[in-house]
Amino acid sequence: MLDKCMIILGIETSCDDTAAAVVTSDRVIKSNIVRTQSTEHLPFGGVVPEIAARAHIEVLDQLIKNALDQANVTFKELDGIAVTGGPGLIGGVIVGVMMAKAIAAVHNLPFLAVNHLAGHALTARLTNDLEFPYLLLLVSGGHCQILIVHGANHFQLLGTTIDDAVGEAFDKIGKLLGFSYPAGPQIESLAKNGNPKRFPFPRPLVGGVKQTSPYAFSFSGLKTAVRTCIQKHLSLTCKDKADICASFQAAVGDVLSDRCHNALKWCEDKKLPLQSLVVAGGVAANEYLRKRLTLIANEHNVNFVAPPVALCTDNAAMIAWAGIERLNLGLSDGLDFAPRPRWSLEEI
Amino acid sequence: MKIILGIDTTLDQCSVALLRGTECLSDSQQMQRGQAEILMPKIITLLRKADVSFSDLNMIAVTVGPGSFTSLRIGLATAKGLSLAAQIPIVGFKTFEVLAHSIPTSENNDSNLLVAIDSLRADIYCQLYNPQLIEIESATTLFPEDILNYTGFKNLRAIGNGIHALKEQLSQYHPHVIFPELGASPTSEVLCQMAMKLSPLDYQNSDLRACQPFYLRPPDVTLPR
């Protein structure tokens, strides 16, 4: 199986992007289509699960067809169907899973239920020459975790957020500042002209003599501090907004850097043969945070790997690739697979 | 001979049927959750039993709602996937019409027919047909107190799992209203038979986008103030 180049169709419907992609085992992305639903959710200031599910079923079959056409591949040429099996908004996950099962049944193909987070976690192996194990910082709208990736099917969770995900913090603060969802890109762009030192926002869990949770995250305190700051100013000038964005982003940068530093140190103490720090998930699209993480990687003499931005946000190429990694391990799933709203990487 | 696969997951069940000419094999299971797990294995078992492969199918018929949003999408996403992968036309039927056609023809008389489906809320999904099962009024959601405005005072039969909430209102003005002990869930056999009766013109032009969910209720969400 390893010798032949495999072609996999990937499907992703776990949040507010409908996506289909065709990827080969020699790491060629033959097509990668993402239809974002942001306009549908825009009036509500966040993702509405039922609206998301409705939008997925309306377009998914046509999107799959387009992805195959663009890749110039027919169903018969495929070696497997990979689909996000969770975690995510269950109504959307179900739409993707059912369509994938149907295609797999008709063409008698291996059905690969991929953990969405594993998709993010393994993307760097699609885009870079990257060996296991590596340290992964997974930062998105729904997740914030530090993991050691020992293998495509073996993840060790070092720490996760005790409240909000980091992308969630970006979105909530963006909402307070009147930005549309998702707010990450607008905050990043405004922060470029802001003073990161003007507002001394807290760095939750960072520092202190006794660190009880050196790899955990917390963003709700930071969020509250930013909200209080915004409410204190009766009217915010552009400069104020830019300074708030820059100060907030700097706080997030400090938190992520500190946590990665602790995790890398832990790996050094355990003498893990670690060569890379990898960042993945939607927040990894933030250039400022990438720069901060590069510095930490350099300090610890490991490579810093960040997939291209288009592969950091939700997409189906990463799901197809994670499916290929499963196939390479000789794994596939039954057509009685139950879509999973919650699915920790450690349970894989 | 035409072979049709029917799929229904709209109202608390997982039901699949295979109609070949006049011979019908089916498998229906009452369940509120878990259709996503058992639907595809059920279809495969059914086809295997009939010694039919996906490429032998001439058409897929599916119930498009109304019903539970998530469960109607389970059947529809599956049907769409099969249609796309095997290049088979797909036809969608509303839950109302499948239930309406579940009544034995001998029972058809000069009464209108109300099909009422439980929406799991205070209101009820309703569709009114004339005795020939042609839609008289558009499908709608109604509170029990408004039902008489919708049905009028003509002779009426009523079916569906939503009739319990309407019984009191209807019985006051429709002394002869009949509630056939039918219509808890649509059956995939009836679905197949309805599809079988379609003329080629009815489905020839159906493309991938023609078969869409029929929710009859917008997503439950309010705009932020």
| Highest-confidence segment of A200-204, B100-104, B109-113, B175-179 | A200-204
Tens of pLDDT, residue by residue over B34-85, are: 999 999 999 999 999 999 999 999 999 999 999 999 999 999 999 999 999 9
CATH topology for A132-307? Nucleotidyltransferase; domain 5 (3.30.420)
Distance separating alpha carbons of residues A167 and A45, to the nearest angstrom: 14
Tens of pLDDT, residue by residue over B101-131, are: 988 765 557 889 999 999 989 999 999 999 9
Q: Encode B182-198: b = buried (16+ Cβ within 10 Å), e = exposed.
A: ebbbbbbbbbbbbbbeb
Residue A326: both structure tokens together: 């499963």
Q: Do A94 and B70 touch (CB under 8 A)?
A: yes
Q: Is A64 touching B (CB cutoff 8 A)?
A: yes
Q: Name the residue with tokens 């189906």.
A: A316
Residues in A closer than 8 angstroms to B81, CB to CB, are 61, 98-103, 106
Neighbour order of strands in the sheet with B124-129? B140-142, B124-129, B112-118, B156-159
Distance separating alpha carbons of residues B200 and A166, to the nearest angstrom: 55
Q: Is A65 touching B (CB cutoff 8 A)?
A: yes
Q: Is A238 touching B (CB cutoff 8 A)?
A: no
State pTM to two decimals. Answer: 0.94
Non-local CB neighbours of A291 within 8 Å, separated by 6+ positions: none
Q: Which of A44, A98, A106 sits opposite B36 (nearest CB)?
A: A98
Q: Do B36 and A50 touch (CB under 8 A)?
A: no
Mean pLDDT of B161-185: 77
Tens of pLDDT, residue by residue over A88-144, are: 999 999 999 999 999 999 999 999 999 999 999 999 999 999 999 999 999 998 899
CATH class of segment(s) A7-122+311-347: alpha beta
| Highest-confidence segment of A27-31, B146-150, B175-179 | A27-31
Interface contacts (A, B; CB < 8 Å)? 106
- Mean pLDDT over the full length of chain A: 94
Where along chain A do the CATH 3.30.420.40 domains lie? 7-122+311-347, 132-307
How close B69 gets to chain A, by Cα (Å)? 8
Residues in B closer than 8 angstroms to A101, CB to CB, are 40, 78, 81
Tens of pLDDT, residue by residue over A211-242, are: 678 999 999 999 999 999 999 987 889 999 99
Q: Do B36 and A339 touch (CB under 8 A)?
A: yes
